[in-house]
A and B are shown apart, each in its own frame.
Chain A
Amino acid sequence: MALNIESIKERIAELRKLEGVGSSSIPAILKSEGFTRRDFLKWAGAMTILLGLPSSFTPLVAEAAEVADRVPVVWLHLAECTGCSESLLRTDAPTIDNLIFNYINLQYHDTIMAAAGWQAETNYEEALQKFKNRFILCVEGGVPTKNNGQFLTIGPHAETGLEKLKRTAAEAAAVISVGTCSSFGGIQAAKPNPTEAKGVGEVLGRTVVNIPGCPPSAKNIVGTIVYYILFGALPPLDNFNRPKWAYGLRIHDLCERRGHFDAGEFVEEFGDQGAQNGFCLYKVGCKGPYTFNNCSRERFNQHTSWPVQAGHGCIGCSEPDFWDTMAPYEEPLAKHQFSSAMADSSADKVGITILTLAGVAVAAHGLISAIKNPKE
């Protein structure tokens, strides 16, 4: 990415000229929210590191956050389970994420908004009109497309989700797909995909930022939005349009059980001695080696845990079509030609090759365990 501080400064200056949601100064707002300027800069520093930027960018991240309310957000729910919205609700660490969430000027979000029915419709249309070509459209959920999208209608005129997405996206400054469903179609797009559900980018035929994960962490969502505000452009993306700052590393690379993988110490089946010892979960299906995300670094719920810590392998939920390609989730993917190897540098292919060789032996073992349970 082109790290041009001057152009970012210009961008922020332009945003400052735009009408914001509030008239209060940022220091005053921070104070009223119980945050000091120092807290804010600490948050900005953490965010800068998370975004993979040099620390000299910290003041700019802070500035970008200050003008964030100039970029309103419209959040559209399609074929989804609301898990991504719930994930966003958990945001806390850094503590000030919550403040930023408020400051992204959320114009429409049907899980939390006060208005319903016609009142909600009015809010929606007003936001689209008032902030035309300025708002960020966040989409949660896949897009059912079969039979002209009749499997989802929204509003008193029974507009299909497909139509609503298309006309809204046409007026958005940027589109962010929050979660695996809007990124790649998700669970409803798994075979046989009865509603022909698709990801937003595929439906729109344009580049959208994908923040996959089932659900993705709040940090990945908030971080991507801050990035857009900062640079006025989409962040550097991998082959699946995922921001590299969040999805640049495999789960496996920073896994706390990686040492056991290297040492050849595996959980052979759930509940065994290896499980009590915290051995590697590869043989019980961990898809960490094939999955690009920052779970092993950031964990979930204010670093409380993550699936591998809780003794279950990764199921690969931030990869395209993982419901089909990663199944069965509790068996290793031996000899699997994994698509995400293409998503990153060729260096990864070496790792994948080594893993595949190991996988052959694992597969043979898996076959035996499926027939005969060692405990019996």
Chain B
Amino acid sequence: MATKRVVIDPITRIEGHLRVEVVLDENNVVKDAYSSATLWRGIEVILKGRDPRDAGFMTQRICGVCTYSHYKAGISAVENALGIEPPLNAKLTRTLLDFALFFHDHIVHFYQLHALDWVDIISALSADPKKASEEAFQYVPTGYNPIATGEDELREVQRRVKKFAEKGDLGPFKNGYYGHPTMKFTPEQNLIALSHYLKTLEMQRIAAQMMAIFGGKNPHPQSLTVGGVTCVMDLQDPARLAEYLTKFKELADYTNRAYYADIVMAASAYKGEPSVTTKNNLGNYLTYKTMQTGPDSWLFDATGYIKNFDLGHYYPLDESKIEEDVTHSWYKDTGFLHPYNGKTIPNYTGYVDGTSINDKGEEVPAKVVNPQGKYSWIKSPRYNKEPMEVGPLACMVVNYAKGNKQVRQVVDSFLAQTGLPPEALFTVLGRTAGRMLQTKVIADYGIVAFNNLVENLKKDQTTVAPYKIDPNKEYKGRFIGDVPRGMLSHWCRIKNGKIENWQAVVPSTWNAGPADGKGKKGPYEANLIGMKIADPSKPLEVIRSIHSYDPCIACAVHVMDVKGKKLGEFRVDPLYGGI
């Protein structure tokens, strides 16, 4: 057979443990692709029988990157179950924490995790700093000047990195994809982006501080409680509010002067590179409203989806159509089930012996996925039996389709500046741009949440809603909302005052899940098919495509309810057995 396989494990610069395999034909075109999560932690199992007030602290530990998302989701799911309506101050404070999270998560993703797929730091060393400095003015939005791209600063960046490179040991930058044929930036463009890589290390600390003001710390803030927020002293302190506002403005400014500008620059440099500009194969995008900005307003207010790349039709979400399938996941087969009825019976079958092209271009033995069998700890969520992409791009295009004015304004002006048609959003480059556009909407319009909070604090000091948990009552509730990687949902049941069951359907599950029982592939796999790889020993195109989703794999693996071990295999109770 003329096909060959390339195993990429570990996919680095992500959260968690992920393997991706591609099958290439004789022209190095991807014929098939498999996404496999290689870690299972079982946090939902551990939640069973616990105090519902503790759930948020435990779900938070699902992920330390989107460190606030699962905390908020865990707390909110319990509130939903108990019928608690947190006070407006608490809701808006939670939005302020979200802003800090999104700023942090998105800039760190682009510069620290994703940039090395686009930016050749070695090439930056041969750039002309003066030329680069002038060029930087081309990419910023109207009314802004670039940041950290003055000739003096660029010279300094070049000098620092040159010294580092001359050591002969690049440490964490060793063995990167320098000089790869799909690296399209000029040396000057590489230098601009490299300067921002370093600047972002500073900016992300500010974003983390921004979260810590009302969150207590970052990572893993600790100021939410079932019913509201605990940071009442910080909220009543004008100095603290000013601190937050200042940092918000710094991050908003950076978003426009660096992040936005660099994406515009990438759109221009990479427009001829097919691996990032070819239209995706899967055209379904799903989102849920997020970031409450007032008593009845959300920054991103769409709760629904679009189909087949059609920006002209917005469909509202029907929660009952969310299901998960485990045909190719390391769980016993149960068919499609709604999270409230889900069953999870782990059944690890491992990998099989095969071969892979290695980093020297040789075909060598490797453990590989058996596509007929099970091959991932991630399940396959489906909406109305269809795979859906979630994430910042989904949030942008669905809000666009719904007619969200602020999203439309930001997206349209980006398309106008880059000269790209709306279809260009449905690509690897578009996905990476979508994340930036979401950040820009927050930067340009998010402050209304802060202003509304300040106004409300003048007349209302309430931060926690009272509640009680009746041990004789059964409760059921969920949180659904978009977090940095897309639509997240946590589903819980409370009985005898304890957690009876818990399930998380997380963004990376939607995107990274294996094929379902009907053979339909999820976004990671589907969108790789047809991509041409320049050099199978350096599959940067695949890595770049996967990174464009911002994988968070520890989030993506979950299971419900364990009951002992039998002959090297887990037996797991059905989630909501008999219901």
Q: B-contacting residues of A (Cβ < 8 Å)?
A: 21-24, 29, 32-34, 77, 79-87, 89-90, 92, 98, 102, 105-123, 144, 146-147, 150-158, 161, 186-188, 190-195, 197, 214-215, 269-271, 275-276, 278, 299-302, 304-312, 315, 323, 327-331, 370-373, 375-376
**Contact between chains at A116 and B13 (CB < 8 Å):** yes
Pairs A-B, 3 closest by C-beta atoms: A83-B64, A271-B464, A114-B176
Which of B207-215, B257-265, B271-279 sits within the interface? B207-215
Known: A23-B167, A81-B62. A119 touches B38 (CB 8 A): no
Instruction: Report B-chain residues with C-beta under 8 Å of the C-beta of A86.
Output: 64-65, 67, 219
User: Is B326 on the interface with A (CB-CB < 8 A)?
Assistant: no
**Contact between chains at B358 and A118 (CB < 8 Å):** yes
- Interface positions, chain B 39-89, Cβ under 8 Å from A, are 39-43, 45-46, 50-51, 53-54, 57-58, 61-65, 67
**Contact between chains at B9 and A300 (CB < 8 Å):** no
Taken together as a complex, chains A and B put the C-alpha atoms of A147 and B348 apart, in Å, by 10
Inter-chain residue pair count (beta carbon < 8 A): 324
Taken together as a complex, chains A and B put the C-alpha atoms of A84 and B338 apart, in Å, by 34
Which chain A residue lies CB-closest to B42? A194
B356 to chain A, nearest CB (A): 6
Taken together as a complex, chains A and B put the C-alpha atoms of A106 and B172 apart, in Å, by 6
Known: A90-B208, A114-B177, A304-B213. A323 touches B9 (CB 8 A): no
Which chain B residue lies CB-closest to A155? B9
**Contact between chains at A187 and B61 (CB < 8 Å):** yes
**Contact between chains at A119 and B13 (CB < 8 Å):** no
**Contact between chains at B209 and A304 (CB < 8 Å):** yes
**Contact between chains at A21 and B176 (CB < 8 Å):** no
Taken together as a complex, chains A and B put the C-alpha atoms of A278 and B53 apart, in Å, by 22
B284 to chain A, nearest CB (A): 28
Instruction: Report A-chain residues with C-beta under 8 Å of the C-beta of B205.
Output: 90, 92, 301-302
User: Is B543 on the interface with A (CB-CB < 8 A)?
Assistant: yes
Instruction: Report A-chain residues with C-beta under 8 Å of the C-beta of B67.
Output: 83, 86
Known: A82-B65, A192-B46, A373-B468. A109 touches B208 (CB 8 A): no
**Contact between chains at B38 and A117 (CB < 8 Å):** no
A330 to chain B, nearest CB (A): 5
Which chain A residue lies CB-closest to B173? A114
**Contact between chains at B554 and A82 (CB < 8 Å):** yes
Taken together as a complex, chains A and B put the C-alpha atoms of A24 and B222 apart, in Å, by 43
**Contact between chains at B359 and A122 (CB < 8 Å):** yes
- Interface positions, chain B 343-365, Cβ under 8 Å from A, are 348, 350-351, 356, 358-359
Listed A/B pairs (6) with beta-carbon separation below 8 Å = A83-B63, A106-B171, A158-B9, A161-B39, A275-B233, A373-B467
Instruction: Report A-chain residues with C-beta under 8 Å of the C-beta of B442.
Output: none
**Which of B61, B213, B359 touches A305 (beta carbons < 8 Å)?**
B213
Known: A86-B219, A301-B218, A311-B233. A152 touches B17 (CB 8 A): yes
**Which of B64, B169, B464 touches A215 (beta carbons < 8 Å)?**
B64
Taken together as a complex, chains A and B put the C-alpha atoms of A370 and B471 apart, in Å, by 10
Instruction: Report A-chain residues with C-beta under 8 Å of the C-beta of B231.
Output: 310-312
A116 to chain B, nearest CB (A): 4
B406 to chain A, nearest CB (A): 29
Instruction: Report B-chain residues with C-beta under 8 Å of the C-beta of A308.
Output: 216
**Contact between chains at A300 and B167 (CB < 8 Å):** no
**Contact between chains at A82 and B233 (CB < 8 Å):** no
Taken together as a complex, chains A and B put the C-alpha atoms of A33 and B7 apart, in Å, by 39
Taken together as a complex, chains A and B put the C-alpha atoms of A294 and B16 apart, in Å, by 28
**Contact between chains at B366 and A81 (CB < 8 Å):** no
User: Is B462 on the interface with A (CB-CB < 8 A)?
Assistant: yes
**Contact between chains at B163 and A330 (CB < 8 Å):** no
Known: A114-B177, A330-B53. 17 other contacts (CB 8 A): A79-B39, A81-B62, A105-B171, A112-B112, A118-B537, A122-B359, A123-B175, A147-B568, A150-B350, A156-B358, A186-B61, A187-B41, A193-B46, A307-B216, A311-B232, A315-B57, A327-B50
B242 to chain A, nearest CB (A): 14
Taken together as a complex, chains A and B put the C-alpha atoms of A194 and B219 apart, in Å, by 26
Taken together as a complex, chains A and B put the C-alpha atoms of A188 and B38 apart, in Å, by 15
Which one of A34, A186, A312 has the greatest number of beta carbons of chain B within 10 Å? A312
User: Is B565 on the interface with A (CB-CB < 8 A)?
Assistant: yes
**Contact between chains at A306 and B543 (CB < 8 Å):** no
Instruction: Report A-chain residues with C-beta under 8 Å of the C-beta of B537.
Output: 118
B173-192 toward A: CB 8 Å interface, digit per residue (1/0)? 11111000000000000000
User: Is B463 on the interface with A (CB-CB < 8 A)?
Assistant: yes
Instruction: Report B-chain residues with C-beta under 8 Å of the C-beta of A79.
Output: 39, 41
**Contact between chains at B570 and A113 (CB < 8 Å):** no
Instruction: Report A-chain residues with C-beta under 8 Å of the C-beta of B462.
Output: 271
**Contact between chains at B17 and A22 (CB < 8 Å):** no
Taken together as a complex, chains A and B put the C-alpha atoms of A115 and B358 apart, in Å, by 13
Known: A113-B173, A152-B39, A153-B38. A118 touches B359 (CB 8 A): yes
**Which of B9, B12, B45 touches A113 (beta carbons < 8 Å)?**
B12
Taken together as a complex, chains A and B put the C-alpha atoms of A276 and B457 apart, in Å, by 13
**Contact between chains at B9 and A82 (CB < 8 Å):** no
B541 to chain A, nearest CB (A): 12
Instruction: Report B-chain residues with C-beta under 8 Å of the C-beta of A271.
Output: 227-228, 230, 232, 462-464
Which chain B residue lies CB-closest to A188? B41
Taken together as a complex, chains A and B put the C-alpha atoms of A144 and B39 apart, in Å, by 9
**Which of A156, A193, A278 touches B9 (beta carbons < 8 Å)?**
A156
A144 to chain B, nearest CB (A): 8
**Contact between chains at B220 and A146 (CB < 8 Å):** no
Known: A119-B175, A146-B565, A271-B463. A305 touches B232 (CB 8 A): no
**Contact between chains at B64 and A116 (CB < 8 Å):** no
A218 to chain B, nearest CB (A): 10
**Contact between chains at B173 and A270 (CB < 8 Å):** no
Which chain B residue lies CB-closest to A152? B39
Instruction: Report A-chain residues with C-beta under 8 Å of the C-beta of B250.
Output: none
Taken together as a complex, chains A and B put the C-alpha atoms of A22 and B231 apart, in Å, by 47
Instruction: Report B-chain residues with C-beta under 8 Å of the C-beta of A112.
Output: 13, 112-113, 172
**Contact between chains at A188 and B46 (CB < 8 Å):** yes
B538 to chain A, nearest CB (A): 7
